[in-house]
Homo-oligomer: A and B are copies of this chain.
Amino acid sequence: MAQERKIDKVILGLLCHEDLSGYDIKKRMDGAVSFFWKGSFGNIYPALKDLENSALITKTDSSVGGRERSVYHITDAGRDALKEWLCDEQASNELRYETLLKLFFSSGAGREVSIRNIELFEKQTARDLEILKTCCRSLENAQDNEDHIYYYLTASFGVETYEVYLRWCKKAKKILRATPHNSIAESS
């Protein structure tokens, strides 16, 4: 297990709770996890194969009729690997926001362009926030399960940061509209 591939951990984490197929894993990843981690089929299926070869998961054929379906189950070694990762103090936290990158270099295109870019970001954030809020509310009312507290905490991280994003958008637009600026940059 010299591999540090994050998709492996996501798969192990999901399988820790229930047996799933590759397709199921994709669906889970498109859900509540998606705002801080993404995956694709071209990513998931090879990882499942590797994890099976490393004996961290086992594969069981559960095809119904002619439709093929392989369900994966985590092994004890898999649980150990997951726990080892959880206990490892290293964690890479990366923000890759093209909107901020554009804003940083926006003097080349003028204020109208930067305001529009902020508005696009604002709209997307508002949409995502609604989804996260719904998610958060349903988790608040289901604290019976030990897992739910962790789901709630991650979702609430999303809600709180997205709310700040929206406040920042308003502030940024206000500043860009209010302060004086030379019109040369604008007209070029």
A: residues with CB less than 8 A from B are: 6, 9-10, 12-14, 16, 32-33, 35-38, 79, 82-83, 85-87, 89, 91-109, 113-114, 116-117, 120-121, 124, 143, 146-147, 149-151, 153-154, 156-157, 160-161, 163-165, 167-168, 171-172, 175-176, 179, 181-182, 185
Contact = CB atoms under 8 A, between A and B. Distances in A.
User: What 6 pairs across the A-B complex have the smallest Cβ distances?
Assistant: A13-B105, A86-B109, A91-B98, A36-B100, A93-B97, A94-B96
Contact of A167 (B85, B103, B160): B160
Given A6-B98, A114-B150, A121-B91, A82 B103 contact: no
B86 A146 contact: no
B113 A143 contact: no
A71 B157 CA distance: 43
A181 to B, nearest CB: 6
A6 B114 CA distance: 18
A182 to B, nearest CB: 6
Contact of A86 (B82, B93, B108): B108
B101 A36 contact: yes
A102 B185 CA distance: 45
B146 A181 contact: yes
A175 B139 CA distance: 14
A114 B91 CA distance: 12
Contact of A101 (B10, B108, B121, B165): B10
B167 A107 contact: no
- Most chain B CB atoms below 10 A, which of A105, A146, A154: A105
A113 B37 CA distance: 21
B102 A93 contact: no
Given A101-B10, A104-B150, A106-B150, A36 B87 contact: no
